[in-house]
Amino acid sequence: MICSLSACMKKTEEASQASADSSSGYTQAAAPSDFKSDYKSEYANEGVSRNKEMNGNAEAYVSSSAAKVSAKDSNRKFVRTADLRFRVKNVIKATYEIEDIVGRQDGFVTLTNLHSTIDYVENTPISKDSTLESTHYTVQNNMTIRVPNTQLDTTLKQIAKLVDYMDYRVIKAEDVSLQLLTNRLSQKRLTQHEQHLREAIQQRGRKLEETVNAEENLLARKQQSDESMISNLSLKDQVDLSTITLALYQKQAVQRELILNGQNIESYQPSFWSQILDALLVGWHVLQSVVIFIVKIWWFILLVLGAYFLWKKYGSKFRK
């Protein structure tokens, strides 16, 4: 019986293996080499399109959870800052568009430094007296803008539409809740101490020296209290308004200008044959001028000739 059971198990295993082989053979027959190549090419194209989509969608790089205001901000206070460097197609147009974006988000621009940096200059002689000057330069702009903290993420997403290439982006959310609490407690403590000093001065203000020392201490405590209040106001301003630092640039541009070659003065002088031709022309003009002058004094010439003939004819008689 044991032998019969083992034989049945072997037959069952062989049958299952045969069915598996047949099913795998059917699958292989259903997937020819052309299908595999098409599948690979489609997968590769899909990967390329995904990469292009990720490169083109700059919002994926610019947006961050650190720039979003969440429900946790009700208990904590964050100072949010963003630092970005990216390339645009046209710096001047991008600058105007960024300023418009900031205005729509109730923000303002605190710094804009638009400038051009000359990378290098090439001089190419094109003739004896002319040189082509090619100036390679890069237009850049460094901007500092401030927007409400609730609009930081929206502002960054709108600026991302102008990005042609992202160099880097750094977004920080610094928790200053404890620092604000420390400043408030310090201010409260200094205010109480100031009140105590005032009461002490009123009660023991008879001696001049003690009064002067007490007034100096009161002034020092007042100054510390003011500094603590100003620090708190500064932190509150940084919490309410986020700061964005932008460094945008465009691809290198070239400006070409044809300039005169002032170093090669000899090239401006005419050649020998040109001087010969000019001399012939000048002589011809002089000859023309002489002929015209003679024609103008024809009457004088006739008078002189008449006087000469008369002298030749009747001059001898007068001498006799």
Residues 95 and 165 in one domain: yes
What integer pLDDT is reported at residue 311 of this predicted model?
Answer: 82
Residues 97 and 229 in one domain: no
What integer pLDDT is reported at residue 145 of this predicted model?
Answer: 95
What integer pLDDT is reported at residue 263 of this predicted model?
Answer: 63
Asked if residue 15 is part of any domain, the answer here is: no
Distance separating alpha carbons of residues 68 and 118, to the nearest angstrom:
39
Asked if residue 6 is part of any domain, the answer here is: no
Residues 157 and 209 in one domain: no
Residues 87 and 232 in one domain: no
**Single-letter amino acid code for the residue at 189:** R
Print burial letters for 288-319: b (CB count within 10 Å at least 16), e (below 16).
eeeeeeeeeeeeeeeeeeeeeeeeeeeeeeee
The DSSP H or E segment spanning 214 is helix 208-240
Residues 123 and 251 in one domain: yes
Asked if residue 9 is part of any domain, the answer here is: no
Residues 103 and 222 in one domain: no
What integer pLDDT is reported at residue 25 of this predicted model?
Answer: 39
What integer pLDDT is reported at residue 228 of this predicted model?
Answer: 72
Residues 142 and 193 in one domain: no
What integer pLDDT is reported at residue 264 of this predicted model?
Answer: 61
Residues 81 and 225 in one domain: no
Asked if residue 159 is part of any domain, the answer here is: yes
Residues 77 and 202 in one domain: no
What integer pLDDT is reported at residue 211 of this predicted model?
Answer: 56
Domain with 142, as residue range(s), is: 71-177+247-257
How many folded domains does the chain comprise?
A: 2
Asked if residue 150 is part of any domain, the answer here is: yes
Residues 145 and 226 in one domain: no
**CB–CB of 247/140 below 8 Å?**
yes
What integer pLDDT is reported at residue 262 of this predicted model?
Answer: 65
Asked if residue 280 is part of any domain, the answer here is: no
Which stretches does DSSP call E strand in 64-209?
Answer: 78-87, 108-125, 130-148, 165-175
Last residue of a domain, one of 226, 257, 288: 257
The position carrying tokens 């620090």 is: 231
Residues 101 and 226 in one domain: no
| Phi/psi at 174 (5° precision) | -95, 125
Asked if residue 219 is part of any domain, the answer here is: yes
Residues 118 and 208 in one domain: no
Average pLDDT of adjacent 10-residue blocks, the chain of 320 residues = 42 45 39 43 45 50 56 72 94 95 93 94 83 92 94 92 92 80 70 63 56 61 71 82 95 90 64 86 91 89 86 69
Asked if residue 88 is part of any domain, the answer here is: yes
